[in-house]
Structure 1
């Protein structure tokens, strides 16, 4: 199952196991069971601390087949996979083996204590796909929590392997998490975000911690490429630096392949995001994760208020809140979001295997999505509002070579239609003739660009007609001491490499501002002291 290189790497990792593990597999005679057996046998051979046990047929009881449990011998600690966790989930498997085997998870001590003291019994089920780059975060978080607190149980389920469950539960987006049989959440979640939903007092405690923090010299709002670069450049100046981030890495986490970041020939979004965070953590930077900014209050000391009710203060602020997928804004889109309307073809594409889908958008993202989906679904209908596709010619050539893709230009989507439970079709206006057309399908993937995350800033500083923050050549906004960088600004060409450069530039601009304003504060203080003496 595993090639020689992976076996060598796995054996090296398994040397860190300190407690014996038992792998209990629930298999039948099917091809997937045979594949799972091969993987588990390879794992058994990687360490003398690992033993393999197999249950078949009626012995499996209520267990999903095929599936397997990782159990710490003579304990209640266990992690379950109803999946053959390769692809993006292979790291989840390795981490689960290490943690069940006694190797500590990389979780802050106070968070571990919070997990241990959760009151109640929790049975989590995560439906994921092996091509989903968001799913491993959720799987790894819940696996780690179940190792820390055995009253938490977790099973990671490959939706493509258990299609019947996916259909019965009407799951059309991954990751989808169930808790004790009820939907708990969808999309990327880390340990802290999960805890906030389980521990109702967590948000208030987090706000108290934030309120107690001293004034920052530079407070970066946003943890994407621009925010990470800004934080690094500020920290290297030796000034007090903080990063307030809803999720570190931002939109990069939702990017599958990155092939145009200079000096890095090829990587994946989540890996790049992890590298950004690791680089920032190498410096003395106060990272405040899972926090969303709600209000900016200008002044000599700028305030940033969070949705949790906290207030952070800084002598300068760099806004790097990035952008999110743009909605098509037609009837049915919000009603059927995650019920057939999706925004990440890499994550949710496998759930539509053999079905008919549409892609809205003819730029690079839309055409790439159509190409990827064509290898999974029965048919793709691509709708582009303009007169022609806007994607790079190399992508268009590939698209035209695919037999199960239909392209309509001058097509304005007017409605997404469903039966109350899921998408069943869409209608579009043929702009060249004025005729309305209907397409029967089961999924709609929206790929029409990005919208800046600036709603919370309206009325505070100057925004363009598109909602982007207006900045000058140094990243300065219309508010003194407040800078901005990355996709949230008016700087053209939304690219990672550009965002990184803009983040560095804004940080240098903020540092220059701090030097000037520091001199002014000293002059004001001297003048005030002289006035008092007089």
Structure 2
């Protein structure tokens, strides 16, 4: 089942086990049960510290639990954890076997201190690149605190349960039988929902942080690059990031990042974060900015207010807040979000197997989504509001060769209909000016990105599209404030361009710092 090169790598990982572990299986006689049996025994054969027991009594079958020998509970998978969850499987074995999760000491202490019992059920798709972060966070938390338990459930394997809960997007997390959250979450975000005082404690620690030489807003490729370049210049560097990776985390395949033939968004994001943390950078994670206070004169301190309350100060600021998916903005879109309206074909596509779906958008993202979905669903209708597709010709050729795809030009989506529970159809206005209806079960929105710059209106010069106006040095309209990446007017929103943008903005900030004298200016009051 596992390729020889994978076995070799896995054998090396399992050599790090400090304690013996048991893969306790609850199997059945289905093909998937036999497949799970084969996988577990193949893994156990790679280490004398891994054993398989088939005496499990879990109600979900097939499933298995990773336990330390003699322990009552462990980390559970109601899934055959291949695809994106194979790394989750490996990490769970290592952590149950004594390999400490890579969490800060403060975070570990907070997890250990959580009172009460927490039983999580995390529904995933093995093709979902967003799911592993949630799975790995909850698994690690369950290893740290024995009162926390998590079972990862493959929605494709337990379709009856998915249908009963009306799950149409992943990841979906339930806590003690009630809906807890959906979408990407890291351990800090999960902890903040469990411990109401956690955000207050985090905010209190930021209250008296000394001013930075360079403060970077955003943890995507541009922000990470800026942080590394600034730290290498010996500058006191901070980076505020709601999450590392930004939009890259939602990207499935990356094949145009120079020197890396092929990778995935979450892998590249993890590599960016690991690279930043090798340097003396003050990483302020799980925080969002809400307001910018420019210095009153060059050389003074700029202020950045966080949603949690504190105001951070810096002599220079680099804004790299990236962009987010544009929404259709039509009736029914918000009402049926995650109930038939989706934005990630890789994550949510498997839940529409055999169903009829539409894709809104004729650019590269929309056409790629339609191609991917055509191999899963019964029929795809692609709606392009213009008179021609904007995707690369090679993608258009592939799309038009598929027998279960219909392409509609000059089709403007005006409404998404549903029955109160799920999407049932879509209305679009055609080139003839008339409204047309399509019966379907899902709508995937792929109509481009919007810059994350609303919080800057009135402080920096923005373009008509909301992008931060920058010059060829990455400088904004305010001295000492620079910007990089997808949030700016720099053309061509590409990862490799964002990385270069971040480096350029950092070098420009350094040049500014050595040329502009320091002005005695008070901090902005919180």
TM-score normalised according to structure 1 size = 0.95
What are the superposed Cα offsets for residues 346-381 of structure 1, whole Å, 9 maximum, x if unpaired?
A: 111111111111100000000000000111111111
Counterparts of 2:124 and 2:385, CA distance in 1: 32
* Equivalent residue, structure 2, for 1:436: 435
What are the superposed Cα offsets for residues 125-182 of structure 1, whole Å, 9 maximum, x if unpaired?
A: 1111111111000000000000110100100001111111111111111101111111
Counterparts of 1:88 and 1:31, CA distance in 2: 21
How many aligned positions are there?
517
Q: Which runs of 5+ in 1 are unaligned?
A: 525-534
What are the superposed Cα offsets for residues 479-507 of structure 1, whole Å, 9 maximum, x if unpaired?
A: 22111110001111111111111111111
For residue 450 of structure 2, give the secondary structure of its aligned residue in structure 1: strand
Counterparts of 1:521 and 1:451, CA distance in 2: 36
For residue 7 of structure 2, give the secondary structure of its aligned residue in structure 1: helix
- 1:101-250 alignment, distance < 5 Å: 101-250=97-246
* Equivalent residue, structure 1, for 2:513: 514
CA displacement at 1:265 relative to structure 2: 1.5
- Contact kept, 8 Å, 1:77 with 1:100, in 2: the verdict is no
2:474 paired with 1:475: yes
CA displacement at 1:104 relative to structure 2: 1.1
2:58 paired with 1:65: no
CA displacement at 1:77 relative to structure 2: 4.3
CA displacement at 1:202 relative to structure 2: 0.6
- 1:102-501 alignment, distance < 5 Å: 102-299=98-295, 300-431=300-431, 433-501=432-500
Counterparts of 2:340 and 2:518, CA distance in 1: 57
Counterparts of 1:455 and 1:162, CA distance in 2: 41
* Equivalent residue, structure 2, for 1:12: 12
CA displacement at 1:79 relative to structure 2: 0.4
2:36 paired with 1:36: yes
What are the superposed Cα offsets for residues 206-248 of structure 1, whole Å, 9 maximum, x if unpaired?
A: 1111122110000000010110111111111101000000000
The alignment's C-alpha RMSD in Å is 1.2
Counterparts of 1:120 and 1:212, CA distance in 2: 33
Q: Which runs of 5+ in 2 are unaligned?
A: 522-526
What are the superposed Cα offsets for residues 310-369 of structure 1, whole Å, 9 maximum, x if unpaired?
A: 111100100000000000110001111111111111111111111111100000000000
For residue 350 of structure 1, give the secondary structure of its aligned residue in structure 2: helix
Counterparts of 2:205 and 2:255, CA distance in 1: 40
* Equivalent residue, structure 2, for 1:81: 77
Counterparts of 2:402 and 2:161, CA distance in 1: 31
- Contact kept, 8 Å, 1:77 with 1:147, in 2: the verdict is no
Counterparts of 2:348 and 2:209, CA distance in 1: 40
Counterparts of 1:54 and 1:30, CA distance in 2: 15
Counterparts of 1:50 and 1:276, CA distance in 2: 32
* Equivalent residue, structure 2, for 1:528: none
Counterparts of 1:165 and 1:417, CA distance in 2: 25
Counterparts of 1:425 and 1:289, CA distance in 2: 40
CA displacement at 1:47 relative to structure 2: 1.4
* Equivalent residue, structure 1, for 2:504: 505
Counterparts of 2:356 and 2:146, CA distance in 1: 42
CA displacement at 1:516 relative to structure 2: 2.0
Counterparts of 1:308 and 1:471, CA distance in 2: 29
TM-score normalised according to structure 2 size = 0.97
* Equivalent residue, structure 1, for 2:87: 91
For residue 67 of structure 2, give the secondary structure of its aligned residue in structure 1: strand
* Equivalent residue, structure 1, for 2:524: none
Counterparts of 1:116 and 1:494, CA distance in 2: 42
- Contact kept, 8 Å, 1:76 with 1:150, in 2: the verdict is no
CA displacement at 1:75 relative to structure 2: 2.4
